[in-house]
DNA sequence: CTGAAAGCGCTTACAG
DNA sequence: CTGAAAGCGCTTACAG
């Protein structure tokens, strides 16, 4: 392959072939109207000189950067990285690159500061693991940039979302705990104001209600707002014997904290998480968890975004309608 | 915050303030020479109209896109996602965004196809989890774009690398296995031609040599080149009682495969991995693993890249010199 | 300290 | 089917 010490531009290809930059551009972009001969000349010259298009320039002129912004808070949680891996590869296959934007764990929401840096990159689309809080909703809509909320309900914002039935997920988790004989349950969420977190809690409450039981408000916790140690101490003190956690990462931390306090997960206290991150990484099934069908979920997110990017109006059934979460039993429940 | 239905450009700010686009640009970029009064006018107008710079345009003109390309093969492995999370946040803090490029698991190497899409984005720097194979080395050097190989030795390529002493890591893993009484060891690598993979193997061999033992070539495997089932069957058949795996992801799969065959990890067969992905995600210590000091490692990678980007010639001691890997004992060794 | 002009490398819209 | 010109939104280099 050729040296690229000197930057090779369309102009160089034009000079080499004796054509205009215009024609060269047209050939490279496969626009109609050029002869086979011209095409071959251009292809040969590009190969020889090692031409590589400048996407900044083409994006500036054409208005399309072939870029998708991905908004996340925490790539350490495999739910995000696994999903991002699949989604970004699908985008790449379709000629889009991904730019990563993190809110640095400030909150589960998109804020203006973040949107500013996103907008500065002029992405063709935005796929967000974060919800658009408050006036960000209008800001985003006004921008006209396709925006997909992934893993969360888009409806409250009147936006496109790809999500699962989280109440159902919470319910099967609760039913499982009760079926295995756990009786005094707690819920450990992330943030008190995030819908997906509340939906899972609601599902648990429904399972309890069906068995004539209730979830005591003092046994509902939020780890992003309270200290982990305090939460676990309370759980131990009140003889909680079953815990549903908002996600697997939280569940693992709770599990460890309980075991430090002499409580064995599974035998003494049932623990259920969400996401099945073990399955993503082919790890042993230690934790009982609710799986949404991760690969399909990610693919669905990519499809919806690609649909919006291609401007097709095709209505497809939502992931929520076509897929049901399922329980994956590990060793943290009997 | 203001509507951005209509795209707001420097020209709009110039008109609003009665200044030239030039002056506005100078203020926004904090170039010397403007009055306090002008600054305030510009700031106010930008705020009112909701001005957001177009990085594509500024990058095209200035030659700096404030972008770092990250090259990876597999974000599912937490080693990559954890590191990427930390590194990308450090870049963001310094005004750089990250564009993700995957080679789609084709190989552990950067190839020309991948470099083409990278170059098209004109990144200011490239941080790569992949090694630059063959003539890619010269191609990259000729491009003049700062390139950091992360997690692998840069020396063979005459390039900047941030890595650990992998031979040492393999050695302490081997010593641990031997100290715990495992006697017939195997190594399960990834690719046969990746240095970091071979270094870990070499460390294991050194540990064995110190104990007057050797690693049989028929007990050295590469999962990217052989079938997992075949490997594990062979291990069982030959009564291997200690396995060092190239990384934790492989170790977990091996562990599961062994247990399916009735062999208990730890008691019957010691298993050691690399990366301590459990620690990254605060999961319980199931697997015994070698930890390089992941947070520091990632920070070091970011620092080296930022150093190159700022053009500072400051020599710093390499991570390899200042940090030593350590063993984290789990339940897969006695 | 500020402005008018040129130009980064493309693609678009138009002319032939 | 091909080309000359304009322009995307900035920053640079220069003039004043």
B117-169 pLDDT per residue, tens: 999 999 999 999 999 988 899 999 999 999 999 999 999 999 999 999 999 99
Residue ranges of alpha helices (H) inside chain B are 10-17, 21-28, 36-49, 55-62, 78-93, 112-120, 136-143, 166-179, 195-210, 228-237, 248-260, 277-280, 294-310, 319-322
When pLDDT is cut at 50, 70 and 90, the band that residue A106 belongs to is low
Best mutation target among A55, A57, A132 (most B Cβ atoms within 10 Å) is A55
Smallest Cβ distance to A122: which of B56, B249, B253?
A: B56
Q: Which pLDDT score is estimated for A31? A: 79
Beta bridge partners of B97: B67
End-to-end CA distance of chain A: 60
> How many angstroms separate the CA of residue B74 from the nearest CA in chain A?
7
Cβ B205 vs Cβ B214: under 8 Å = yes
Please tell me whether residue A272 adopts helix, strand or coil conformation: strand
Cβ B253 vs Cβ B321: under 8 Å = no
- Rounded Cα gap, residues B297 and A8, in angstroms: 37
Q: How far is CA A332 from CA A110, A244, B162, B244, B267, in A?
A: 34, 11, 39, 28, 21
Cβ B254 vs Cβ B271: under 8 Å = yes
Q: Mean pLDDT across the stretch A76-105?
A: 94
Top-confidence residue, B275 or B316 = B275
Name the token pair of A194.
């995030």
Name which of A319, A280, A330 is nearest A173 in CA terms. A330
pTM value is: 0.93
When pLDDT is cut at 50, 70 and 90, the band that residue B5 belongs to is low
Q: Are strands B125-128 and B147-150 parallel, antiparallel or unpaired?
A: parallel
Name the closest residue on chain A to residue B252, using Cα atoms. Answer: A283
When pLDDT is cut at 50, 70 and 90, the band that residue B39 belongs to is confident
Contacts of A99 in chain B (CB under 8 A): 67, 97-100
Q: Is the pLDDT of residue A94 over 90?
A: yes
DSSP state of A179: H
Interface check B28 vs A, CB under 8 A: no
- Rounded Cα gap, residues B283 and A273, in angstroms: 13
Interface check A266 vs B, CB under 8 A: no
Dihedrals phi, psi of A105, to nearest 5 degrees: 60, 20
Q: Over the stretch B53-90, which tens digit does the pLDDT of each residue have?
A: 999 999 999 999 999 999 998 899 999 999 999 999 99
Q: Is the pLDDT of residue B2 over 80?
A: no
DSSP state of B217: G
Interface check A264 vs B, CB under 8 A: no
Spanning CA of B22 to C1' of C4, the rounded length in angstroms is: 9
When pLDDT is cut at 50, 70 and 90, the band that residue B106 belongs to is low
Q: How far is CA A317 from CA A38, A150, A306, B204, B267, in A?
A: 45, 16, 15, 53, 50
Q: Mean pLDDT across the stretch A51-66?
A: 95
Q: Is the pLDDT of residue A229 over 80?
A: yes
């Amino acid at each position: 392959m050729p040296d690229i010490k000197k930057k090779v531009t369309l102009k160089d290809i034009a000079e080499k072939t004796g054509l205009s930059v215009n024609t060269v551009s047209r050939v490279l972009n496969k626009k109609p109207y050029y002869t086979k001969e011209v095409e071959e000349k251009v292809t040969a010259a590009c190969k020889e000189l090692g031409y590589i298009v400048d996407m900044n320039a083409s994006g500036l002129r054409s208005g399309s950067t072939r870029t998708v912004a991905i908004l996340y808070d925490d790539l350490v949680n495999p739910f995000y990285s696994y999903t991002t891996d699949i989604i970004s590869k699908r985008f790449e296959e379709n000629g889009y690159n991904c730019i990563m934007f993190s809110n640095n764990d400030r909150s589960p929401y998109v804020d203006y500061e973040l949107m500013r840096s996103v907008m500065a990159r002029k992405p063709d689309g935005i796929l967000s693991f974060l919800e658009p809080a408050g006036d960000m909703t209008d800001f985003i809509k006004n921008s006209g940039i396709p925006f997909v909320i992934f893993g969360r309900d888009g409806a409250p914002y009147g936006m496109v979302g790809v999500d699962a039935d989280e109440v159902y997920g919470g319910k099967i988790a609760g039913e499982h705990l009760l079926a295995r004989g756990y009786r005094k349950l707690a819920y450990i969420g992330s943030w008190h104001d995030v819908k997906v977190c509340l939906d899972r809690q609601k599902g648990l409450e429904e399972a309890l209600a069906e068995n004539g039981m209730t979830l005591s408000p003092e046994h509902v916790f939020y780890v992003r707002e309270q200290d982990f140690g305090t939460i676990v101490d309370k759980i131990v003190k009140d003889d909680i014997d079953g815990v549903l956690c908002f996600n697997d990462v939280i569940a693992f931390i709770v599990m460890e904290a309980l075991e430090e306090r002499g409580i064995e997960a599974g035998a003494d206290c049932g623990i259920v998480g969400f996401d099945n991150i073990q399955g993503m990484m082919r790890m042993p099934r230690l934790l009982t968890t609710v799986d949404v069908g991760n690969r399909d979920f990610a693919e669905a997110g990519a499809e919806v975004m690609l649909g919006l990017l291609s401007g097709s109006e095709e209505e497809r059934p939502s992931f929520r309608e076509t897929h049901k979460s399922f329980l994956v039993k590990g060793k943290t429940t009997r």
